[in-house]
Chain A
Amino acid sequence: MVNETLASISYNLVVSATAVYALALFAYVAEWAFGARSRVGRTVPALATAGGAGEAAGGPGSDAGVETPLPAGAPGNAAPVDRAERLGRIGVSLTVLACGLHLAGVLTRGLSVGRVPWGNMYEFVTAGTLVVVLVYLGLLRRFDARWLGLFVTMPVLLALGAAVTVLYVDAGQLMPALHSVWLVIHVAAAVIASGCFTIGAVLTLLYLGLDLRVRHGLGPAYIGARRLPDPDVIDRMAYRVFAFAFPIWTFAVIAGAIWAENAWGRYWGWDPKETWSFITWVVFAGYLHARVTAGWKGRAAAMIALVGIGCLLFNLFGVNIWIIGKHSYAKI
């Protein structure tokens, strides 16, 4: 029934992907570190050669207006900037490589058991993190969003690390209740929505951090030589991600209700998992309304989104671990 060879290949692929994500994270951190040093180190030579764009250290009291983003390969770049740029590109390449391994790991897991690879929490987390990375790479294709790399690989690494150690269960067959086409539809939608919500959460946290920075007069933030977008640009990006994820989440809940009606005879029964998906839905509905309400948009709405993410994560981990309900077969 279970192809053990494929299952162990899958596990090794996911572990390898985790390792490569760790390397990617190192590269992003190094980009940040070297770039930051370069900015200080470059000020004098850059001013001396009077070639490229002059840039003051972004400390308190520095004139933010003077600073301009330094495009890659601009003339007059000092060596550290090239190094930071190179490190950033290495980070992206490693992320792509890790994503490939990750995707192969998820696929082989599915092939090893002859079903969709999202039947338990280990599989849900590996598939969900894959969505997170794919959304990041998608954003990278459309925008210059490399600054997100650090903040995306960090939670992905944490989640995958937990998946391959604590959450891991051997590849196996599912309970009869899960033999349904709705497993494919309902859980796939939940995985995709969760992945998108995670990206939204990362953006929201970044927004709140940068907003705090701006309000303290600390000027724009940099990763390496690259300037991070303004807080409200990130806030709008977060909104777009949430506005994309919310209908998918709605669909996941509806699909779950249809399945529940087929399996248990009622489409809504306030099972803990249902209750928490309802709470998550209501909180994000609140977020969308707050975005268009005077006095709530901005920081207040961002905080609501974070509460929504908290509910989502509690539904995924807390409900499975601490609360017994009809979803209990989705074992850890």
Chain B
Amino acid sequence: MTTISSGRTAEAPPTDPDPVDRTPPRMPELGPLELLRWMWRQLTSMRVALILLFLLALAAVPGSVIPQTAQNPAAVRDFVAAHPAAAPWLDRLGLFNVFGSIWFAAIYLLLFVSLVGCFLPRSWQHAAALRARPPATPRNLARLPGYRKFETGAGPGPVVAAAGQELRRARFRVVVEPRTVRAEKGYLRETGNLLFHLAVLGLLVAFAAGKMYGFRGTALVVEGDGFTNTPTQYDALTPGRMLDPDRLSPFTLELSDFSARYLESGPQRGQPADFAAVVDYAPEPGTAMQTHRIRVNHPLEARGVKVFLGAHGYAPVVTVRDADGEIVFHGAVPFIRQEPTSLASGGVIKVPDAVPDQLGFDGFFLPTAAFDPKLGPISTFPAALNPRLVLTGWRGDLGMDAGIPQSVYRLDTRKLIQLRAGSDPAAGPWRTALAPGQRAELPGKLGSITFDGYREWVNLEIAKDPGRIPALVSAALALIGLLLSLSIRRRRVWVRASADEPGRTVVEIGALARTEAPGLDDEVDRLAARLRERLGVADNDVGATEKDLEAADTDPEVADRGLESAGTDFGVRDRD
């Protein structure tokens, strides 16, 4: 922030005392307080801020290259399986969770400390600058980058009065003195700059707060089923650290219909065209149900909780009868999509209540079934135009009574025997392909299975982020601040009227911009022209300087020169 280069060399860090030599250093150059101050100055210097910025960019790179637990846990599992040697080390370094890792947090927290350390003194300086008057007129205006000079018959008094009016009209802050005018404009640049940095800070706070007080989860819901917003109803739930999971917003909903539309012709046949879910929901228990249509990009919003559509698929409805002819299972079983484009889905049906043996089935749901000579049964279209349920069967112990939680999408076949197509031990596995309404008898008089039909399911993604509106406001303010600080030029203009001879006043205009200011010359030109007009000076009476002639001769770009080297102190200095 401030020019610290001189301070840094004056307050050099203490040299490490020789570890063997126990005698204290002869001249301790810095006490602990000075050391702290030195470190603070380092941290708040622009150089260190820049280095931290680049470290932040660099640190984010592995987060996009190495799979991340928060974004794609399945990819992390695959990666760990594929790289057994490297994975533990990557894990120890936090590379599977880069954006939650300590070192990533360390970089951005240091950066924000640096930002605050820059922001505070700069705000005070700016507050002082806002109250201050434009500085005194330099002695030699001709040395300023924007310089014009002309003569008039009007006296100095009318000249400075006219100049003051013109500059005020151009919304400069103006001080008129007997012989000179001091004016300054563009304070909003620094205001915008400070606003931007403050808003970025606000964005970080809003992001963190949203993470801490919000939650995110997914729940698979089959058409006709309901969902209540309690932790047990989620398939996966990530509550914020400061959120009591038992106090989620208590809404309930019922999925009455899910529909997907697909392109039916052309090269993109099978690509989804639209998804929609119709739900009845009550924001709180006991309140009246309302109907809402959830579509992609159009979530349901109830009391700050948003419900989105995630993955979707089919749940075949089956009825299983056991050897006694009793209905031992009836229901919709969600199958998980195996093929994203054709929606061929795989799943298992567990029938623990069947006698004499428990029964299990695994197989595929094919929405639009076809038979491929090489691949066997396949699905050719994601919509259920010709649905088939292809199953094989198992008997024995499903292992569900052991008390160990098991996946509903996988059969534990360790204590199961696969059903065979015939009594001959050499016969192939029993297999059936059912159309809706069809029934298959199980071999060995074990019972039957009926494919009653199908329902669709959808993964509801449910999220609450109380930080999102503050984050949006912060982002908008940051953008406004950025636009102000990049588009506004802070500049000073001085006018001097010197009456060396009676009846002849020399008018000098000098202008200085703090940063690169294309158009400063034009602005001075306009001011000079307006003044000449008001004071009744003919255009050909212009005493153009050498610099003007030179500038007019070359490329217009050459004319607006950089002003950083102008050497005039502008009150607020840049960081280092």
State the A residues within 8 Å of B (CB).
Answer: 1-2, 69, 143-144, 170, 172-173, 175-177, 179-180, 182, 229-230, 232-233, 236-237, 239-240, 243-244, 246-247, 250-251, 254, 257-259, 261-272, 275-276, 278-279, 282-283, 285-286, 288-290, 292-297, 311, 319, 323-325
The proximity string for B residues 554-576 relative to A, scoring 1 for CB distances below 8 Å and 0 otherwise, is 11111010101000000000111
* Interface size classification for chain B: 35 or more
- Which residue of chain A is the closest to B484 with respect to CB atoms? A247
- Chain B positions within 8 Å of A232 at CB level: 562
User: Any chain A CB within 8 A of the CB of B407?
Assistant: no
Q: Which of B25-33, B319-327, B349-357, B467-475 contacts A (4 or more CB under 8 A)?
A: B467-475
**In contact, B297 and A289 (Cβ under 8 angstroms):** no
Residue from the list A176, A236, A270, A275 in contact with B562, Cβ < 8 A: A236
For this complex, 22 residue pairs linking A to B, each with C-beta atoms less than 8 Å apart, are A176-B273, A176-B296, A233-B555, A237-B557, A240-B516, A246-B486, A254-B479, A262-B297, A265-B216, A265-B461, A266-B216, A269-B70, A270-B63, A270-B71, A275-B64, A279-B60, A279-B61, A282-B53, A286-B54, A290-B50, A293-B576, A311-B57
Shortest beta-carbon distance from B52 to chain A in Å: 10
**In contact, B57 and A283 (Cβ under 8 angstroms):** yes
- Chain A positions within 8 Å of B65 at CB level: 323
- Known A240-B518, A266-B216, A270-B70; contact A173-B268, beta-carbon cutoff 8 A: yes
**In contact, A2 and B64 (Cβ under 8 angstroms):** no
- Known A254-B476, A262-B299, A270-B68; contact A176-B275, beta-carbon cutoff 8 A: yes
**In contact, B486 and A243 (Cβ under 8 angstroms):** yes
Cα distance, A232 to B479, chains bound together (Å): 28
- Chain B positions within 8 Å of A289 at CB level: 46, 49-50, 53, 575
- Which residue of chain A is the closest to B518 with respect to CB atoms? A240
Shortest beta-carbon distance from B45 to chain A in Å: 9
- Known A177-B297, A247-B482; contact A266-B463, beta-carbon cutoff 8 A: yes
Shortest beta-carbon distance from B572 to chain A in Å: 12
- Which residue of chain A is the closest to B464 with respect to CB atoms? A265
- Known A229-B557, A262-B297; contact A254-B271, beta-carbon cutoff 8 A: no
User: Any chain A CB within 8 A of the CB of B384?
Assistant: no
**In contact, B273 and A173 (Cβ under 8 angstroms):** yes
Cα distance, A265 to B560, chains bound together (Å): 48
Cα distance, A250 to B98, chains bound together (Å): 23
Cα distance, A38 to B94, chains bound together (Å): 63
Residue from the list B53, B266, B299 in contact with A286, Cβ < 8 A: B53
- Which residue of chain B is the closest to A257 with respect to CB atoms? B475
Shortest beta-carbon distance from B235 to chain A in Å: 15
- Chain B positions within 8 Å of A1 at CB level: 263, 266
Shortest beta-carbon distance from B14 to chain A in Å: 25
- Chain B positions within 8 Å of A285 at CB level: 53
- Chain B positions within 8 Å of A286 at CB level: 50, 53-54, 57
**In contact, A263 and B296 (Cβ under 8 angstroms):** yes
**In contact, B71 and A271 (Cβ under 8 angstroms):** yes
Shortest beta-carbon distance from B301 to chain A in Å: 10
Shortest beta-carbon distance from B280 to chain A in Å: 21
- Known A279-B60, A292-B515; contact A264-B308, beta-carbon cutoff 8 A: yes
Cα distance, A230 to B562, chains bound together (Å): 13
Contacts A173-B268, A270-B70, A289-B575 known; 10 new A-B pairs at CB < 8 A = A175-B271, A176-B274, A247-B483, A250-B479, A250-B482, A265-B299, A266-B216, A278-B60, A283-B57, A286-B54
User: Any chain A CB within 8 A of the CB of B293?
Assistant: no
User: Any chain A CB within 8 A of the CB of B194?
Assistant: no
The proximity string for B residues 303-330 relative to A, scoring 1 for CB distances below 8 Å and 0 otherwise, is 0001010000000000000000000000
**In contact, A233 and B50 (Cβ under 8 angstroms):** no
User: Any chain A CB within 8 A of the CB of B99?
Assistant: yes
User: Any chain A CB within 8 A of the CB of B456?
Assistant: no
Cα distance, A243 to B576, chains bound together (Å): 21
- Chain A positions within 8 Å of B216 at CB level: 265-266
- Chain B positions within 8 Å of A264 at CB level: 308, 461
User: Any chain A CB within 8 A of the CB of B465?
Assistant: yes
Top 3 nearest A-B pairs by Cβ distance? A265-B463, A275-B64, A272-B64
Cα distance, A297 to B273, chains bound together (Å): 51
**In contact, B56 and A282 (Cβ under 8 angstroms):** yes
- Known A286-B50, A319-B64; contact A179-B575, beta-carbon cutoff 8 A: no
- Chain A positions within 8 Å of B19 at CB level: none
Cα distance, A144 to B553, chains bound together (Å): 13
- Chain B positions within 8 Å of A237 at CB level: 557
**In contact, A233 and B558 (Cβ under 8 angstroms):** yes
- Chain A positions within 8 Å of B515 at CB level: 292
User: Any chain A CB within 8 A of the CB of B267?
Assistant: yes
**CB-CB contacts below 8 Å: B30-53 with A:** 46-47, 49-50, 53
User: Any chain A CB within 8 A of the CB of B478?
Assistant: yes
Cα distance, A208 to B166, chains bound together (Å): 42
Residue from the list B5, B75, B557 in contact with A233, Cβ < 8 A: B557
Cα distance, A36 to B268, chains bound together (Å): 53
**In contact, B297 and A282 (Cβ under 8 angstroms):** no
- Which residue of chain A is the closest to B575 with respect to CB atoms? A293
Cα distance, A276 to B46, chains bound together (Å): 24
Cα distance, A324 to B576, chains bound together (Å): 42
The proximity string for B residues 473-513 relative to A, scoring 1 for CB distances below 8 Å and 0 otherwise, is 00110110011001000000000000000000000000000
Cα distance, A58 to B564, chains bound together (Å): 31
User: Any chain A CB within 8 A of the CB of B227?
Assistant: no
- Chain A positions within 8 Å of B271 at CB level: 172-173, 175
Cα distance, A215 to B272, chains bound together (Å): 59
User: Any chain A CB within 8 A of the CB of B430?
Assistant: no
- Which residue of chain B is the closest to A226 with respect to CB atoms? B555
Cα distance, A290 to B482, chains bound together (Å): 16
- Chain A positions within 8 Å of B251 at CB level: none
Cα distance, A262 to B297, chains bound together (Å): 5
- Chain B positions within 8 Å of A172 at CB level: 266-268, 271
User: Any chain A CB within 8 A of the CB of B207?
Assistant: yes
- Chain B positions within 8 Å of A229 at CB level: 555, 557-558
Cα distance, A257 to B56, chains bound together (Å): 20
- Chain A positions within 8 Å of B562 at CB level: 232, 236
- Which residue of chain A is the closest to B298 with respect to CB atoms? A262
Residue from the list A251, A269, A279 in contact with B57, Cβ < 8 A: A279
Residue from the list A177, A254, A268, A276 in contact with B64, Cβ < 8 A: A276
Cα distance, A148 to B60, chains bound together (Å): 35
